[in-house]
Amino acid sequence: MIPVIALIGRPNVGKSTLFNALTRSRDAIVADEPGLTRDRQYGVCKVGAKKFIVVDTGGLSGDQQNLDDLMARQTLLALEEADCVMFMVDARAGITSGDEVIADMVRRAGKPTTVVINKVDGVNPVEAEAEFYALGFSDMALVAASQRKGINPLIERVLKDYPDIEQDEAHQQGPSIAVIGRPNVGKSTLINRLVGEERVVAFDQPGTTRDAISVPFERHGKHYTLIDTAGVRRRGKVHEAIEKFSVIKTLEAIDKANVVVLVIDAQDGITDQDLTLLGYILDSGRSLALAINKWDGLESEQREFNKTALNRRLSFINFANQHFISALHGTGVGDLMKSIDQAYASAFKQFTTKDLTDLLEEAVVKHNPPLHNGRRVKLRYAHQGGKNPPIIVIHGSKTDKLNEAYQRYLMNFFITRLRLKGTPVRLEFKKGENPYAGKRNKLTRRQMEKKKRLIKHVKKRGR
């Protein structure tokens, strides 16, 4: 078993900075502002021959109301599932009452604990270490996480009783599913419903989620990785730097995902911001499923009106399934997972050149390409050029002259005939090179004499 290490401590002591240093990533948002981390963030790390899982947690402030209470519950869950604990403190701030409360909580958990004294750059390390012995822990480590100082000795000390990992075991994560949408549409509630536990903080307040949180889980014997993302508002309403970083994390999650679930608030219907997010998903080529959440809160007449409006405004993505769900009560969530499986399978389908060429010929017979300067664009054969999304490469002559309408016709034709669900198709056109381009035709002696007679004749007629 790979050991699990939980990072516990007050807000702004450097837990996320240490998490990023251990995972060699920027998965956790870091800024000089307390309370950024709110959910459990997992990362797989390897230092030397030691492999382990590190869990970043929200800072424990001692406030047991509203959002802080939910964050504390997430931290306690991480403490419960951890094999050992890194209790982080701030060398510059010294011991605080909050540190003493957390120390008492960690002692009650009974897990092996190392007090990690962070931010030791610029202070006397001997004095700092002596002060924190008052917390009642004998195992101490001095680090400067922002400068990656003291991290390797720290890991060697924490994992000294765990065996080395000689060979990495393949960790099956399965499809990566990014759940995105505007703030407060129910993304975190949906993830908690799919996982079957309170895995991420879900609170009736826009902007609760800030990081992009990866959540591995298993359903019916299949492995998945859900990515909870921060809600994306209109650009004009984003002013705080932290929110800008959160939006960047959301867009990165879309690029990394195999399937994207766009959550729409049924009471608001499809908004311009939803369409903006949808455009980014289509540009990235990701498979897509639509989850219209809070459907149980609508009257029957309003449901019919919203369905008609959705079908009208989303007619350009008829390949994506729509699901009318209630993340809070679980209605329709099972069907959403079926669409995710279909979209993932469609995105990674393999097609033969013969099948694609036959379909191309059939499409051309049903609807010929338009003329360009009186000449027909010729499409000769097609083959697969990639997956996720499926890329179909079409060869022919004058393919660069095909208009967008005919390209959309071909894309929809391939999606329909290949029975693809939930994934777009990208078309790439290749035109054959003209072997005579740039070469002048060398005239024979007889042709040269004829050319001269014609020129002379034209000049006479012009007089």
CATH number at 248 reads 3.40.50.300
Same domain? 342 vs 364: no
Q: Is residue 446 part of a domain?
A: no
Q: How far apart are CA 179 and CA 278, in angstroms?
A: 12
Same domain? 340 vs 366: no
Q: Is residue 449 part of a domain?
A: no
Give the mean pLDDT of the chain. 81
Q: List, for residues 72-118, the tens digit of each pLDDT value.
A: 777 777 788 788 899 999 988 888 888 888 888 888 888 889 999 99
Mean pLDDT lowest for which of 4-8, 73-77, 144-148, 424-428?
A: 73-77
The CATH code of the domain that includes 375 is 3.30.300.20
Q: What is the mean pLDDT of residues 196-200?
A: 67
Is there a contact between 22 and 102 (Cβ–Cβ < 8 Å)? no
Same domain? 126 vs 220: no
Same domain? 276 vs 194: yes
Q: List, for residues 45-59, the tens digit of each pLDDT value.
A: 877 667 788 888 877
Q: How far apart are CA 85 and CA 3, in angstroms?
A: 11
Domain ends where: 102, 130, 158? Answer: 158
Q: Is residue 364 part of a domain?
A: yes
C-alpha separations of 110 from 118, 189, 283 in Å: 23, 31, 50
Q: How far apart are CA 258 and CA 135, in angstroms?
A: 46
Structure-block tokens of residue 440: 């002048």
Residue with the larger pLDDT of the pair 422 and 162 = 422
Domain encompassing residue 239: 176-347
Same domain? 222 vs 148: no
Q: Give the count of domains, the chain.
A: 3
Same domain? 147 vs 22: yes
Q: What is the mean pLDDT of residues 192-213?
A: 59
C-alpha separations of 38 from 29, 57, 90 in Å: 11, 7, 19
Q: Is residue 167 part of a domain?
A: no
Domain ends where: 319, 347, 375? Answer: 347
Q: List, for residues 262-311, the tens digit of each pLDDT value.
A: 999 888 888 888 888 888 888 888 999 999 998 888 888 888 888 888 88
Same domain? 198 vs 299: yes
Same domain? 276 vs 333: yes
Q: Is residue 170 part of a domain?
A: no
Same domain? 295 vs 211: yes
Q: pTM for this one?
A: 0.63
Give SS3 for 102: helix
Same domain? 279 vs 422: no
Q: Which residues of 361-386 are buried (b: 16+ CB within 10 A; e: fewer)?
A: eebbeeeebeeeeeeebebeebbbee
C-alpha separations of 161 from 2, 23, 44, 295 in Å: 12, 21, 19, 52
Same domain? 335 vs 204: yes
Helices (H), 24-163: 66-81, 97-109, 125-132, 151-158
Give every strand in the sheet of 287-293, ordered side by side.
213-219, 222-228, 176-181, 259-265, 287-293, 322-324
pLDDT range class, residue 437, cuts 50, 70, 90: low
Most confident of 31-40, 198-207, 267-276, 413-422: 413-422
